[in-house]
Structure 1
Amino acid sequence: MTDLLVEFLKEYSYPILFIWSIMEGETGLVMAGILSHTGDMNLWLSILTAGLGGFTGDTIYFFIGRWNRKYVYRKFKNQRRKFALAHLLLKKYGWPIIFIQRYLYGMRTVIPIAIGMTRYPTSKFLLINFLSAMVWAAVTILLAWTFGEHILHLLHWARDYWYIALPFGALIAGGIYYYFHKATQKVEKKILHNPKSPKEG
């Protein structure tokens, strides 16, 4: 799977990275960082492409919330709790929530849609979203570029010893999922039961 993704990025390069970034998958950014490390992609053009993709994705979600509320209510009717949490986070913390929403497990799609459903200024959202997307792309790709050689060694090892890497990787992924799931639940309980200090903007 990894080899296929690498070859795919090598062949189609920046358009694939742009589309992958719209879906906000860090895997594509890591691969772009590695390919930049090997000289198959340009580092700064990769960051720009990924940043624009991330910006485009969240902007689409924002305008879905702003222009098609009926669709949102119908499509996300089972996630009303998350939408309520997103609105409370925006009221409580303001614009920093827009900036960090890419790092909030389970809320990356919900938050821009929920903000679109409010009267939050479009121009302000677009500016913060753009800066957030560029930072997200730069940090992820630069880390992969910096540690490219180590990541490549790890990938080669995982390919040769997949029978060891597979359960080990599953254990790590499960631990990360459990940690962020519990952290998100704690935040939900805290905010939903104590929605104080409102401050939109």
Structure 2
Amino acid sequence: MEYAVAEYGVFAVVFGTMFEGEAALLLAVFLAHNEYLPLREVIVAGWIGAVLGDHLWFYGGRVLGPRWMETHPAFARRAMRVRDFVIRHQYITLLGFRFVIGMRTVIPFALGLVGISRLRFLAFNLVSGLAWATLYGTMGAFIVGIITRAVDHLLQNELRIALVIALVLLCAWLIARVRGILRERHARQKRARRRAAGETGHRH
């Protein structure tokens, strides 16, 4: 196991953070805490994966925007909801979108859709991606350290590792749950606006 992680771990972190974000980075931080991977390499790999993933969606918006939206109506509705905000607040969006849970694929897609400069997106994404990877990497290491120290004297090493993995997976599930709640809330708000618009139309 140690050899496999040492051989492929950094590449797995890059690939994982491209698509799973916080969950992949937190799992990699746990491995770093148990000396399978250096924490510095985990943070750098998370940074690279975050930047690559964001660029994948950004160029998806630039190149495939209208066609993708035609075949993915739910995604299109979410992208159009943030489009006006993206246009009005470009710099805030460029720096902060990576920290918005549940919208990290939609916002770079919308940024590409509205034609934000490629160089501007790259520059801001490098900065925000590094901030994200550093924040989650260091905070994750701190939290994992507290958890492992708390149970270290109670459990054997194998059970300790299994418990911390379970806690990391629980954190990943909670993140996914929050994303689902946010999506459901956006959907309810959309339906409420549609009903309100329909009632207004009937009154007229």
Question: What TM-score, normalized by structure 2, do the two folds share?
Answer: 0.71
Structure 1 residues 182 and 53: CA distance shift in structure 2, 3 A:
same
Partner of 2:120: 124
Is 1:12 aligned to 2:4, yes or no? no
Partner of 2:200: none
Is 1:38 aligned to 2:27, yes or no? no
Deviating more after overlay: 149-158 vs 33-42: 149-158
Partner of 1:69: 65
Unmatched 5+ residue regions in structure 2?
A: 153-157, 192-204
Return the alpha-carbon distance in structure 1 between the equivalents of residues 133 and 181 of structure 2.
24
Structure 1 residues 52 and 174: CA distance shift in structure 2, 3 A:
closer
Give the conservation status (yes or no) of the 8 Å contact 1:21–1:29: yes
Partner of 2:82: 86
Return the alpha-carbon distance in structure 1 between the equivalents of residues 172 and 45 of structure 2.
30
More contact order relative to length (CA 8 Å, sep ≥ 6): 1
Number of residues paired by the alignment?
A: 185
CA shift, 1:95, in A, is 1.6
Is 1:101 aligned to 2:97, yes or no? yes
Give the conservation status (yes or no) of the 8 Å contact 1:51–1:133: yes
Percent identical among aligned pairs is: 20
Unmatched 5+ residue regions in structure 1?
A: 190-201
Give 1:85's aligned amino acid. Answer: R
CA RMSD between the two structures: 3.9
Return the alpha-carbon distance in structure 1 between the equivalents of residues 109 and 81 of structure 2.
12
User: What secondary structure does 1:13 align onto?
Assistant: helix
1:29 to 25, 28, 49: 25
Partner of 1:194: none
Give the conservation status (yes or no) of the 8 Å contact 2:14–2:48: yes
Equivalences for residues 143-182 of structure 1 within 5 A = 143-152=139-148, 153=151, 156=159, 176=178, 180-181=182-183
